[in-house]
Structure 1
Amino acid sequence: MTNGTLPVKRQRTGGGLAEPESTDDARTRDEQLRRQLLMSLIFPSMLMPMMSTMSRVALPVIRDTFEIPEDVTAWVSAAFTLTFMTMMSVYGRLGDVIDRKKLLLFGITVFFCGTSVTLTADSMPQLILGQMIAGLGVAGMMPLGMALISSFFPARDRGRALGTWATVGPATGFVGSFIAGFLVAGWGWKGAYVTSWALSLFAVIAVWKGIPSNPPARDESRPIRSFDWGGVVLLAAGLACFVCYLSSRAITGVPSLEDWRFLTASVVMLTTFVLRERRHPDPFVAPQLLFNLRFAQSSFCAATRMICMGGLSILIPLYLTDIHGLHPAQLGAMLVINSGSMALIVRIGGGLADRWTSRGLVSVGILIQAIVLMIFSRLPGSSSLLVVGLSLGLHGFGAGLMHAALHRYVMDSVPKERAGAAAGVYNMFRFLGGVIGTSLGGVFLRQYLEDGVPTIGAYQQSFFIFVFIGLVGSVMATQLREKRQLATGGGR
């Protein structure tokens, strides 16, 4: 696989002899190819945030159309993220031994099929199935993109490149939320998925034309046959059972957080997975990665960031609909504020990540999230939309500030030859946090409503629970240490 070194071209001299490019020409060409790579990754990187942000606007309409409770409504987002996160590490691991361009094209095709199923759905099971297939396909966009950037960009430019690339998500959310409001208002909940379906066609063209192939030196079928598929199944099933335990009502009818069969199965499968990986000759997740302290710390911080974001992603659309009576177009406009704020700060955060330590950026970013959640837990039902909008903007600022810093920190903690696997596992843990936050947000809200708590009180108490999660993440972030700090005794 490529190690980031771009091929050297030779130029014709007047006598017809081939001469290597000059250093300046080679450097210019390399920079052009890197820019082309970065631009070509934009379209596939838009698929996941486009689907998730536009789906958020549709959640209140889906809830009312199918007449389902809040914890079941959360499964619309959770189903997509569940397959998305469990397959991330598979794509990342395969990306270390198989042409990443082929994997990107395969994933986009699967996403297109899943979105097609969603658009034709007339029942909740079919809708959830379509979301699961779409998540299965789009899972590779992030780890493969991170690995490609980490491989082709030198260390001095990597933070800025990752920051630029990471801006795509919030920027897409900014546009997606706004467009989704009008589409849902005009065509119902299915309107939220049309744009993602069309975007996947452009993504295929962008990847096909703009991303260089990096075929491995050996037959690609060999790593597929020898791949640790048993480990994949154990990990995916263990995580799926854990999510089902968090929100079991929609599956078994048992109240959420009370079906111990799912929790027991999850513990057994995940324990078996760890034991298997320690003995397997070519493990799906290398034991060194599982016990890499820097990798574990940054993954935990990323997960807490996403738990807070996941909780807001399910609670805010329902809150604005139930408490403030917003229609889909108005709801989409309000959700733009969070994504827009994040889009504005992410690239700046990427530049800061190259100059400052990740510890400060991540700790402050998660603390800001906790403060915003505290604000929402205290807002009365009569609060103005201006206050709500400012709070959403502040949350976007905090979430965006640490985004690239986390990416750079985790990729710097592993050797380059394991970049794909590390990116996949890191993003899996990151979005596991998103699934947990989304599921718990729906579960807590539904439980408070069933207990007879007034609607505004149910929302306030649900927001308050996530404050503690944010505070834990902020404290953990203070323990992050850069390599240069470790080399000098922790920066003393």
Structure 2
Amino acid sequence: MVKSIDAGTSRAVAGRGGPTAPVRWVLAGLSLSMLLSSLGTSIANVGLPALAHAFGASFQQVQWVVLAYLLAVTTLIVGAGRLGDLIGRRRLLLAGVLLFTVASALCGAAATLWLLIAARAAQGLGAAVMMALTMAFVGEAVPKARTGRAMGLLGTMSAIGTALGPSLGGVLISGFGWRAIFLVTVPLGLATLVLVRRHLPADRHLPADRHLLADRTPPGGPQRSSTPRPAFDHPGTVLLALTLAAYALAMTLGHGHFGGLGAVLLAAAVLGAVLFVRVEARAASPLIRPAMFRDPALSASLAMSTLVSTVMMATLVVGPFYLSRALGLDDALVGLVLSAGPLVAALTGVPAGRVADRFGAYRMTVAGLGAAATGCVLLAVTPTAFGVLGYVGPLVIVTAGYAVFQTANNTAVMADVPADRRGVTSGMLNLSRNLGLITGTSVMGAVFAFASATDDVTTAGSGAVATGMRVTFAVAAALVLAALALAATGRTLTRRLAQGS
């Protein structure tokens, strides 16, 4: 896969001041970085029962092993991307990979649960840096005409990490104990560190924001030979992190049940968002320029990513209950059936990128959304009598559509981003996806429970679970159709702005 992207691109990249090393090695380092961050997300979930037993802790306590990582990634990913834009993406990516690797070793050596949770938070910080900067490097490493293929490769590696986590974690725990699920990422981290250090292009001086430069040069005054870069927006970064943390906790702590604490946290998130917008509007060098959201194409892409990621969580929230309660499958078969989704995503990524390069990102964005909507409708109307095939067939369509959409959408956003904004834009793309996954866990779980007419879906009858699934995926289909409407609206507004200028 990497070799096919590399063909004919090394000279083009070198001509732009990029790496002289073969692009395949650059993409190998970026791919491992993406694999590590997604593996860190998925591998810990399977170890929660073993961790509860090892530390004599409750499920509510050990779930923080997962939440600490998720919160660190979600709250810090935009700030990590912006910091990379300012101080150099290569050096920050090296620091992120090193932090992830060291934190993985500390996780494996943790003597208490709270030390493990602290190490997982540090691991999440490293993952936030890797996620934010990996896509940003594509613009420097790969010619624009092949951006889709590179994005597809990164999507494939993310899907492989997600799919590999539960199965690899189960094998490691049964053979070597829970510490192995964290220690296994140490050699992978070291390999990533070597590839990134040797082959990624050296940091170049990135120009400061153009509007800031204009403000600092008086009319008719002498042109400065050099202008200091804008400062990092510490107040905006802290405020955004606290806002996102409040939202993530509101969506995850209740496990689909929205109580008083969730309402308080959600209100805090809304207040934080309002304050963040006001702070950024007045900041000399904002973390996120408000003008970015006046770009209809970017705004639509971020909103679509959130909506579709919310839908994808329905397959993980509803799928296990439907397969076990409604179809009567045992745990092994449930895991096997659920692995079909990540497997399809892994196989679809690179081909989707090639198609996006050939036919255009917008067309493939619409095609991916259309396929996802079709799969959701089929899941909503297919009778239980169709059995496993009645679930797997539509699931394949939904997942393939998602993979095509994600590759094309990421390509559309990152292809034309100025060099000095690639990190923060990549961070925003990843953030929109994470917010969708977090929201989907709570919202889709609540829809499923409500439609099943039960407070505890683990004891619901097969008929109630089947009804809950149909209603949930009907809602999911509506969300994907809303994303399609956003795609069309963003396209229309972008054309009007282009004609007006």
TM range, smaller chain? 0.7 to 0.9
Identity over aligned pairs, percent: 25
Partner of 2:468: 461
Asked if the contact 2:163/2:342 (under 8 Å) is kept, the reply is: yes
Deviation at 1:138, TM superposition (A): 0.4
Asked if the contact 1:358/1:480 (under 8 Å) is kept, the reply is: no
Residues 1:246 and 2:246 are matched in the alignment: no
129, 132, 152: which one aligns with 1:140: 129
Distance of 2:257 and 2:373 partners within structure 1: 31
Q: Work out which structure has the larger RCO, using CA pairs closer than 8 Å and 6 or more positions apart in sequence.
A: 1
Asked if the contact 2:364/2:404 (under 8 Å) is kept, the reply is: yes
Deviations 1:103-122 (Å, cap 9, x if unpaired)? 11221233234434554679
Asked if the contact 2:75/2:240 (under 8 Å) is kept, the reply is: yes
Deviations 1:117-137 (Å, cap 9, x if unpaired)? 554679876665554332221
Deviation at 1:449, TM superposition (A): 4.1
Aligned pairs for 1:128-167 (under 5 A) are 129-167=118-156
**Cα root mean square deviation, aligned:** 4.1
Distance of 2:479 and 2:100 partners within structure 1: 32
Partner of 1:299: 302
Aligned partner of residue 37 in structure 2, secondary structure: helix
Asked if the contact 2:147/2:415 (under 8 Å) is kept, the reply is: no
Deviation at 1:203, TM superposition (A): 1.8
Distance of 1:45 and 1:125 partners within structure 2: 27
Aligned pairs for 1:321-470 (under 5 A) are 324-327=328-331, 330-377=333-380, 384-412=387-415, 414-444=417-447, 449-450=454-455, 454-456=460-462, 457-458=464-465, 460-461=467-468, 463-464=472-473, 465-470=475-480
Distance of 2:80 and 2:295 partners within structure 1: 21
Q: 1:82–1:174: structure 2 CA closer, same or farther, 3 Å change rule? A: same
Deviations 1:319-338 (Å, cap 9, x if unpaired)? 5566645446x555434321
Residues 1:86 and 2:75 are matched in the alignment: yes
Partner of 1:230: 235
Partner of 2:264: 261
Distance of 1:132 and 1:76 partners within structure 2: 8
Deviation at 1:259, TM superposition (A): 3.6
Deviation at 1:175, TM superposition (A): 4.1
Aligned partner of residue 311 in structure 1, secondary structure: helix
Asked if the contact 2:100/2:122 (under 8 Å) is kept, the reply is: yes
Deviation at 1:62, TM superposition (A): 7.5
Residues 1:276 and 2:279 are matched in the alignment: yes
Asked if the contact 1:449/1:458 (under 8 Å) is kept, the reply is: no
| Range 176-185 or range 224-233, more displaced | 176-185
Deviation at 1:289, TM superposition (A): 1.4
Distance of 1:407 and 1:50 partners within structure 2: 20
Asked if the contact 1:179/1:332 (under 8 Å) is kept, the reply is: no
Asked if the contact 2:296/2:490 (under 8 Å) is kept, the reply is: no
Q: 1:275–1:417: structure 2 CA closer, same or farther, 3 Å change rule? A: same
Partner of 1:15: none
Distance of 2:390 and 2:446 partners within structure 1: 26
Deviation at 1:296, TM superposition (A): 0.6
TM-score, length of structure 1 as denominator length: 0.79
Residues 1:49 and 2:38 are matched in the alignment: yes
Q: 1:130–1:91: structure 2 CA closer, same or farther, 3 Å change rule? A: same
Deviations 1:359-418 (Å, cap 9, x if unpaired)? 332233234334434444566777633443333322321111122211111124533332
Deviation at 1:81, TM superposition (A): 2.9
Deviation at 1:184, TM superposition (A): 4.8
Distance of 1:316 and 1:412 partners within structure 2: 35
Deviation at 1:182, TM superposition (A): 3.2
| Range 313-322 or range 42-51, more displaced | 313-322
Partner of 1:7: none
| Range 364-373 or range 60-69, more displaced | 60-69
Q: 1:29–1:111: structure 2 CA closer, same or farther, 3 Å change rule? A: closer
Distance of 1:53 and 1:151 partners within structure 2: 29
Unaligned runs of 5+ in 1: 1-21
Q: 1:109–1:345: structure 2 CA closer, same or farther, 3 Å change rule? A: same
Deviations 1:134-158 (Å, cap 9, x if unpaired)? 2221012233122211123332222
Asked if the contact 1:159/1:354 (under 8 Å) is kept, the reply is: yes
Distance of 2:267 and 2:135 partners within structure 1: 34
Distance of 1:204 and 1:24 partners within structure 2: 22
Partner of 2:224: none
Q: 1:318–1:75: structure 2 CA closer, same or farther, 3 Å change rule? A: farther
461, 481, 500: which one aligns with 1:471: 481
Partner of 1:115: 104
Unaligned runs of 5+ in 2: 1-10, 208-226
Distance of 1:327 and 1:263 partners within structure 2: 35
Q: 1:224–1:376: structure 2 CA closer, same or farther, 3 Å change rule? A: farther
Aligned partner of residue 281 in structure 1, secondary structure: coil
Q: 1:238–1:359: structure 2 CA closer, same or farther, 3 Å change rule? A: same
Aligned partner of residue 85 in structure 2, secondary structure: coil
| Range 437-446 or range 400-409, more displaced | 437-446
Distance of 1:319 and 1:446 partners within structure 2: 12
| Range 450-459 or range 93-102, more displaced | 450-459
Asked if the contact 1:56/1:313 (under 8 Å) is kept, the reply is: no
Q: Output the amino acid matched with 2:419.
A: K
